[in-house]
Amino acid sequence: MRPRFCETDALGHINNTVLPVWFLEAREPVIAIFTPDPTLSKNGLAMVHMDITFKAESMFGSPVTVTTTIGKIGNRSLEVVQRAWQNGALTAVGKATLVSFDTVARQSQPISDIQREQLQQHLDGPDAEQPPT
């Protein structure tokens, strides 16, 4: 992500409202596992919880790298773990609980075996806590 000047606040750092947007953009590969073609699919993901812990300031002028891993996989839900890095420093950690969702029936549905296999390829581990190279 390349921070834009308009995303800064009166303190000179990237405003806290920007990180959820960056994290959503970086979740697109996870969303694609459940909704490969949004115009044709009756499957999706619904967010039921999100939290972000800010570790350091993100500033205008340097790119921010967002990494996305899978924390936990349940029967109908999963936890996505995201980290924002700037100049080698961890600036924020976000966790989102998403539920597999049937958009026609408007209710949760089980995560399929194929989806589970794809998610397991991206499980969070100790390497995820190291700055990206």
pTM: 0.92
| Confidence band of 125 (pLDDT split at 50, 70, 90) | confident
Selection from 119, 25, 121, 11 nearest residue 64 by Cα = 25
The predicted structure's pLDDT at residue 34 = 94
- What are the pLDDT digits (tens) for 106-118? 999 999 999 999 9
d(CA 53, CA 125): 18
CA angle 22, 99, 107 (to 5 degrees): 130
